[in-house]
Amino acid sequence: RAFEPLPALDGGRDGMEFYDRLLAESPALLHPGGMLVMEMGMNQSGDIRQKVNDKQEFVVKRIRRDQAGIDRVMCLERTS
């Protein structure tokens, strides 16, 4: 943490502001079938998946776990 810039660690009040912005802005940058790959913090997978499902512009294709078995990377595909 001592080496990370504060904006990289601050997710706003609920810790999800970065993901809200990313999910709102990225559809304009990706064609259908394009992939968005996001790193997640511990215990964020469920909340992010819910946001993805609510937006209906992406589908979750894969979630990768780290060596400790924690969901760490979510791969999304742009639907339309």
Q: How far apart are CA 11 and CA 18, in angstroms?
A: 6
> Model-level pTM greater than 0.85?
no
SS3 category, 50? helix
Hey, how many other C-beta atoms are within 10 angstroms of the C-beta on 23? 20
Digit-by-digit pLDDT tens for the chain (80 residues) are 566 666 555 555 666 888 999 999 999 999 999 999 999 988 999 999 999 999 889 999 999 999 999 999 999 999 98
User: Which domains are assigned to the chain?
Assistant: 6-78 (3.40.50.150)
Pure H helices in 1-80:
6-9, 17-25, 45-55
Which residues touch 34 (CB under 8 Å, ≥6 apart)? 77, 78
Q: How far apart are CA 68 and CA 53, in angstroms?
A: 26
